[in-house]
Amino acid sequence: MNNEKGNGIKKRKPGALNIALIAAVAMLAGTVIFAGIRLMTRGSEGSSGNSGNSGNSGIEETVSGEAETGDETADSPGQEAGTEKEDNSGQVVDTEKADILGQEAETEKADTPEQGAEPEKADATGQDTGAEKQDALISGNSDAAQVKTEKDTAETNKLAEEIMDSMTLHEKVCQLFMVYPSAITGAKKVTVAGDATRSALEKYPVGGFLYNATNMENAQQLKKMLTGVQEMTFVPLFLACDEEGGRVARLMENIGTTRIDAMYTYKDEGTEKAYENAFTIASDMNSVGMNLDFAPVADVWSNPDNKVIGDRAYSDDFEQAALLVGAAVGGFHDGGVACTLKHFPGHGDTTEDTHVGSAYAYKSIEELRDEEFLPFKAGIDAGADAVMIAHIILEDVSDEPALFSKQIVTGILRGELGFDGVVITDALEMGAIAENYTSGEAVLKCLDAGVDVLLCPEDFYEAVSAIEVALLNGELTEERIDESVRRILRMKIDMGLINGEKS
């Protein structure tokens, strides 16, 4: 779904643990299992080793600004002030392209879509899809997901296994997290990818970053930062923001990308408009180096008193919302970013705001199947990459939030709706979670339910420690961690962030 190739999986710095691991794998298998595989990661705008960090002040401002949680704005707790400077050379350290065993990888540069560009009628292979394929994408027909399904082959799985086998347990635990840059750098306002970011990623190689207004000054600065940070990791990063349109529009509001109103505004303009809006948003994100959007909103504005969702929804009608959400998924993919359906199992019929405290939904599971689940099913059938689980409490299921429920995450989302992609939490620092659970308790409950990615816990270090302690005492198994890391790596391969090529 992406339009360009980038740099390869980075060669690690020599380390006894990695060398021992590779040697052990080679001896056990009796063959060099990685020979002939080349891995390449997408660099922003096809960058091939230069971070583009020269020419700026290279200082991260120390301010008491706000960080945004998931969908709305809230104070980011517990972050210490700090500054970060770039290398004097402006070059990113350790940018040699290589596969897991240190072989050279090739780098190709390719054009990125201009902001607001017109949709190209092409499938993931770059071939002309024709009118029938385009119609399928716009309608949300499940055939639109076939491109991704065919990519999820034994070769993709094999590549994911090889990468995972080269990772330490600590690296796999960190891969489960997406956080604000401030959470690991110690700086409240991160606007460059410099020494503090590099050092933090070496110690805590997280799976991705969530960016908000505090990280955005202008398009050039943002692109430069994202290009630089992507060069700093062994496994490529998810680089995400909340970009829905309307009142949740980080790039539109802060760097002036194409302005699009709330999705509800367009509800009667059909699937073509839903596709076009998503394509424009995705193209603008792709142009600055973002690769994952926490959109589309698959909630339905079924409760007029609901203000936290409201006009963020595509419709107040379940069937109409399903058609529009399915079409939007195709637009996001064609625009060059992965997308996330949110907020399962449906946040549109609540009245409370989970950013502040607990929120409740009182429909039965049968009612949810007939109504709230419809847009999520349509988005899944259209090939959505991820699903975000809400903090809402379903009275018919449990007295705890949905993201802690194995019945909802594993039984319904994965079992009934057939979603085998990445399941991500809403921000764990939000009031519904942080006011009732410690960060350690929250992440362990999420993993037990079947969640893959843990988004912005209130205390990142406590959350990592809790998982590693649970692994040591047998409360959590490495096989459970591998299950989620495998899905994350497969998603990154499907996105084109990691590519394998045979010699």
Catalytic residue among 426, 452, 459, 494: 426
Q: Which run of H or E residues covers position 225?
A: helix 219-230
What is the C-alpha to C-alpha distance for residues 296 and 279, in angstroms, rounded to an integer?
A: 12
Partners of 341 in the beta sheet?
Answer: 387
**How many CA atoms, within 13 angstroms, populate the side-chain half-sphere of residue 453?**
32
Burial 196-206 (b: 16+ CB within 10 A, else e): bbbebbeebbb
- Tokens 């988004």 correspond to 455
The residue type found at 14 is P
Q: Which run of H or E residues covers position 340?
A: strand 338-344
What is the C-alpha to C-alpha distance for residues 361 and 338, in angstroms, rounded to an integer?
A: 29
- Note if 355 is an active site residue: yes
Tokens of 164: 């995972």
Catalytic residue among 333, 343, 347, 355: 355
Report in angstroms the alpha-carbon separations of 441 from 372, 465, 469, 470: 29, 11, 12, 11
496 within 8 A of 43, measured Cβ to Cβ: no
Tokens of 387: 């699903």
The residue type found at 383 is G
Tokens of 56: 């700026």
Q: What are the backbone angles phi and psi of residue 338, rounded to the nearest 5°? A: -80, 160
Give me the helices (H) in 336-438, please.
365-370, 373-381, 406, 431-434
SS3 (DSSP) at 73 = strand
- Note if 381 is an active site residue: no
Q: Give burial (CB, 10 Å; 0-12/13-18/19+) of 492.
A: buried
SS3 (DSSP) at 39 = strand
Classify strands 393-394 and 454-455 as parallel, antiparallel or unpaired. unpaired
SS3 (DSSP) at 341 = strand
Q: Which residues are identified as catalytic?
A: 355, 426
